[in-house]
Amino acid sequence: MTKNSHDFLEINSKKREKYMKKLILFMVAIWNAIVFAQNLSPETAVELTMEKNLSERIEKMLEPLVGKTIVSVNLELKYPTGNMKFYGTELNLAESLPGIPVSKSAAAIPAGDEGALENQIRIISQKVSIHLNKRTGKKKIAFIKENLPKWIHLDPTRGDELTLEKDLSYTNSKLIVYAVIIFFMLLFLINFRAGIRFLAVSLRNINIKGFDKALHIKGGIGGSGGGGIANANLQFSQEKPLPVEIVQKEEEDAKDKKLNFHFVENLSLSNFSKLIAGESNEDIAFLIANLSPEYVQKYITQYPLDSKIVIRSMLNVMQRSKAEIEELRDRLYEKYESLFEEERYTFDGKKALIKIINSLPSKNSEELYREIHSLNPRMAENIRINIFLIEDILKLDNDVIKAIIKSIHHNLLVTFLASTEDKIREKFMINLTKRAALILEEDIELLGNLSQDEKEKAIDEMLATIRMILKYI
């Protein structure tokens, strides 16, 4: 055998010895754990259970104050001595055989000579160690030191100890979740912003004019030639990959206006009839075909005989060149300008006066109505039914008054009744319950004397409110 082979065998033997030692120690540890578990005395079990229960109770008491804690308890117990009284039975699994069950006592309690319970388990001393979060404040620690001994009956004279240590580091799970959400939101915003920048650079590289104005392309869409951009001109250059420039053509817009006949709709039907006088039926038919249906309907309704001739011409196929259309428009536009100068506008003066009166304050609306009555009594009588003055409150039905009371604010009603005349106040009072009327009278008395401006303001506000409720305005 060579020297190298001898060294190799020696190394392998040392490794085997090392592994065997570890295996023996591991087996010994397992054996001790098994023996300890089997030989666990009832006293030890009772002690461990009491320590566990006490530590869990302390942790629950402290959790609302300082959060999660770790509590370790070491109890020194005094067990009962003397006679034991056994009671109850249970199956002894360790000594039972198949088909031959063996029973044992379920429990035992100490008993005196007369059978009374005595010599129960007593706590000789208890040592409590509490591990707190590192962030726990001094005030909370002082509070625990002061009150916990009272809660669990710690007595330093018998050797009880309480130890507080700040050595835990808990992290709030909610804060972690919020931090993760914020992180991903920031990541999304960064990526989104980078994408927008990339898009902007790409669009600038192809030279699209107007990108700074949110890519808004001016000009009409569609046209007589089918689809496409009718009012834009695309110019191509070979300097860069297909740079495109969009230019609006205002000249074409001006040309399209020369083919538009909608200006004639500004004329009344009588002046429209004058406008088309002397024109051929074919030209009139072409003109009407280019007007709005509403305007044509009015014309046909007012001039049924003339329209029949025009309708016959419209049944035929109408063809006009662009030059002919422009010539017809120019000729009609010259006549239109002269007729438009003579156009007379009418308005309904009665409706305007009704609207003005119903929008004025109480005093001004009465003065304006009296002025109208003095100038034109008949007209004043005609518009009287459509206006509402403060005195008209007395003419309202009781049901309407009740509805008004329910619709307005209490403070406005109090101020108004304190400002208005007695007849109107009585009109409201009789439509209230006795209790509501008493409360209202008390509030009016507490309001005291009002200035003239305050009274007028309350009356005007109430009048405007009633007008809106009754839909006069």
pLDDT of 81 > 90? The answer is no
CB 416 within 8 A of CB 464: no
Going by pLDDT thresholds of 50, 70 and 90, the confidence category of residue 279 is confident
Going by pLDDT thresholds of 50, 70 and 90, the confidence category of residue 119 is very low
Helices marked H in 206-239 — which ranges? none
pLDDT of 467 > 70? The answer is yes
Average pLDDT, the chain: 75
Which residue is it, tokens 């809106």?
Answer: 468
Question: Per-residue pLDDT tens for 63-76?
Answer: 888 888 888 888 87
DSSP code at position 224: T
- For residue 210, what are the contacts with CB-CB under 8 A and spacing of at least 6? 216, 217, 218, 246
Both tokens of 219, joined, read 């000009």
Position 210 scores a pLDDT of: 47
Whole-prediction pTM value?
A: 0.33
Residue 459, Cβ density class (10 Å: 0-12 exposed, 13-18 middle, ≥19 buried): buried
pLDDT of 114 > 70? The answer is no
pLDDT of 163 > 60? The answer is yes
Which DSSP string corresponds to 48-75? Answer: HHHHHHHHHHHHHHHHHHH---EEEEEE
- For residue 126, what are the contacts with CB-CB under 8 A and spacing of at least 6? 54, 73, 74, 75, 76, 152, 154, 160, 161
Position 240 scores a pLDDT of: 47
Question: Per-residue pLDDT tens for 194-245?
Answer: 777 777 666 666 555 444 444 444 443 344 344 443 344 444 444 444 444 4
Going by pLDDT thresholds of 50, 70 and 90, the confidence category of residue 186 is confident
Position 230 scores a pLDDT of: 39
Position 415 scores a pLDDT of: 94
β-pair partners for 71: 130
Question: Per-residue pLDDT tens for 168-183?
Answer: 765 555 667 778 888 8
Question: Per-residue pLDDT tens for 420-450?
Answer: 999 999 999 999 999 999 999 999 999 889 9
Question: Per-residue pLDDT tens for 11-34?
Answer: 566 667 767 777 777 777 776 666
Give the lowest-confidence range in 47-61, 84-98, 146-160, 325-339. 84-98
The residue among 215 and 105 whose pLDDT is bigger is 105
